[in-house]
């Protein structure tokens, strides 16, 4: 039985911080590394610098165990660890579809010169196919020790369920070039593998593609049901019942068939665009051209949501007060990257409405992105005096709203259900004008 390797996690954002803390929970000694001093100071003080259910409790549990520490010093990490996980971000390039690989390259180039003994470096970041081979070259050129190897191990965690997804993933994918690399990875995930998680051992290109293919499929599934929502609107059909009915077919499945305002966040939108860009470079543009439609259908839902609000306000947002419920790209997250909710809120503001936003967790992150909007600390404050209510992120608190009780707070009983989570009859019976995407 191989000894448990000591691990480093480079990049302590959503992915890295979760991976570091969860690997300690699984029994490993871990050092977390980031160039951002503020993030490291926060983690050292026991504070997770973003909202992720369950993660603060796990950090607190292991803070003083001696098994987890954080540093800004790559040399310290190289000295300590046998396996290094690269978990830095790959955002969309400004004004382009392609992924920005600056952080990945920088992490490899900074780490490599410190690798003075045989080690495995594991890429976890979502990257365009072909990146791993380039990073392997960087290690060959810059690492002083012999036998420093690369593996690619894509990550599938969902924000809001990141702890669960890391401790009990659906599958593990190991892109490797040697048996030694595979054995190192098997040792680094031993507790997860022992609990029965399937492992797919493959080459670099397949490992890289598994991740973008999975996210492309999920995005396509969402845009498929949203395309059906457009057809439902033209025919008077109900997309939620349509989704239930087709979802009973086990080959289709009901998950990720929730029609509404569409997908956002730091992953799905930028991953499909980066895939389109990379496929173009590879000469297989046509193979993924449908992803352009997926993106467009998704963005059209935002425009349609604005129209529904406009209908309820008799043609103009100007001078009205609009309560926007939700700013995060999905519930149980404070992430507003490419958030459909915040995008619509800002557009309503630009059309002359007084927009009052409430999100249970994302008010602060949203304020940084859209400082021109008004943020309030409670649902009731947001609703008070509203001419129109727009439910744009399906937090449980919003789903639980009692249409009778909240009607006394608003000025006019108009509601757009941007996530199809309310029961239309209940709202209409309570006197509301109710509109939703893909539903009569
Ligand atoms: C996504 C993938 O689900 C993860 O497997 C992947 O690891 C991650 O990206 C990543 O690449 O790191 P995440 O961005 O956290 O995870 O969010 P999802 O739960 O996938 O939701 C994405 C968006 O789709 C949200 O805006 C959500 O509101 C929307 N959505 C989801 C729908 O509009 N309808 C649905 O039926 C499901």
Protein residue closest via CA to atom 36 of ligand 1:
256
State which of 123, 158, 259, 299 you would mutate to test the pocket of ligand 1, scoring each by most atoms of that ligand within 8 A of its C-beta.
158
Q: Which atom of ligand 1 is nearest to the CA of 340?
A: 26
Q: For atom 12 of ligand 1, which residue has the closest CA?
A: 267
What is 286-343 written as a DSSP string?
A: GGGTHHHHHHHHHHHHHHHHHHHHHHHTTT--TT-EEEEE--SSSSS----TT-HHHH
Residue 386 gets the label, from left (phi > 0), alpha (psi -120 to 50) or beta, of: beta
- Tens digits of pLDDT across the chain (440 residues): 457 999 999 999 999 999 999 999 999 999 999 999 999 999 999 999 999 999 999 999 999 999 999 999 999 999 999 999 999 999 999 999 999 999 999 999 999 999 999 999 999 999 999 999 999 999 999 999 999 999 999 999 999 999 999 999 999 999 999 999 999 999 999 999 999 999 999 999 999 999 999 999 999 999 999 999 999 999 999 999 999 999 999 999 999 999 999 999 999 999 999 999 999 999 999 999 999 999 999 999 999 999 999 999 999 999 999 999 999 999 999 999 999 999 999 999 999 999 999 999 999 999 999 999 999 999 999 999 999 999 999 999 999 999 999 999 999 999 999 999 999 999 999 999 999 999 99
319 vs 328: CA distance, rounded Å: 25
Q: Is 329 in the pocket of ligand 1 (CB under 6 A)?
A: yes
- The verdict on whether 267 is a catalytic residue reads yes
Q: Please report the domains of the chain, with CATH numbers, ordered by start residue.
A: 7-202 (3.40.50.720), 212-294 (1.10.1040.10), 301-436 (3.40.50.720)
Q: Which atom of ligand 1 is nearest to the CA of 219?
A: 24
Instruction: From 15, 163, 268, give the residue whose CB has the most ligand 1 atoms within 8 Å, as the site to mutate.
Output: 268
This prediction's pTM: 0.96
- Between CA 296 and CA 305, with CA 301 as vertex, the angle to 5 degrees is 150
Distance 431 CA to ligand 1 centre (A): 34
Closest CA to 439 of 419, 411, 414, 413: 419
């Amino acid at each position: 039985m191989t000894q448990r390797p000591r691990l480093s996690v480079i990049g302590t954002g959503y992915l890295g911080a979760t991976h570091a803390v969860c690997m300690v929970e699984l029994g490993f000694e871990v050092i977390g590394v980031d160039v951002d001093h503020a993030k490291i100071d926060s983690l050292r003080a026991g504070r997770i610098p973003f909202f992720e259910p369950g993660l603060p409790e796990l950090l607190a549990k292991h803070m003083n165990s001696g098994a987890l520490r954080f540093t800004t010093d790559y040399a310290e990490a190289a000295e300590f660890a046998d396996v290094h996980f690269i978990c830095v971000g790959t955002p969309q390039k400004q004004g382009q579809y392609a992924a920005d690989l600056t952080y990945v390259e920088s992490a490899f180039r900074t780490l490599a010169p410190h690798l003075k003994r045989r080690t495995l470096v594991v890429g976890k970041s979502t990257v365009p196919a072909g990146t791993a081979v380039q990073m392997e070259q960087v290690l060959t050129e810059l690492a002083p020790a012999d036998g420093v190897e690369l593996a690619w191990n894509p990550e599938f965690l969902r924000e809001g369920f990141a702890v669960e997804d890391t401790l009990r993933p659906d599958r593990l994918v190991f892109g490797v070039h040697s048996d030694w690399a595979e054995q190192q990875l098997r040792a680094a995930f031993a507790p997860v593998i022992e609990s029965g998680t399937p492992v797919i051992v493959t080459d670099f290109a397949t490992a890289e593609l598994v991740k973008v293919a999975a996210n492309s499929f999920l995005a396509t599934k969402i845009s498929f049901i949203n395309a059906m929502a457009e057809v439902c609107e033209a025919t008077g059909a109900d997309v939620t019942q349509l989704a239930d009915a087709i979802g009973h077919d086990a080959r289709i499945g009901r998950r990720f068939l929730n029609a509404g305002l569409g997908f956002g966040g730091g992953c799905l939108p930028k991953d499909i665009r980066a895939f389109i860009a990379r496929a173009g470079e590879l000469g297989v543009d046509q193979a993924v051209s449908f992803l352009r439609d997926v993106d467009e259908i998704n963005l059209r839902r935002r425009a349609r949501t604005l129209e529904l609000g406009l209908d309820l306000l008799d043609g103009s947002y100007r001078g009205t007060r609009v309560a926007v419920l939700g700013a995060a790209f999905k519930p149980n997250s404070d992430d507003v990257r490419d958030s459909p909710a915040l995008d619509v809120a800002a557009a309503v503001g630009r059309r002359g409405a007084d927009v009052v936003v409430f999100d249970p967790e994302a008010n602060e992150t949203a304020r940084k992105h859209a400082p021109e909007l008004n943020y309030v600390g409670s649902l009731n404050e947001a609703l008070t005096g509203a001419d129109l209510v727009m439910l744009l992120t399906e937090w449980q608190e919003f789903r639980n709203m009692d249409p009778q009780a909240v009607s006394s707070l608003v000025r006019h009983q108009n509601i757009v259900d941007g996530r199809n989570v309310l029961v239309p009859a209940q709202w209409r019976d309570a006197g509301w004008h109710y509109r939703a995407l893909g539903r009569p």
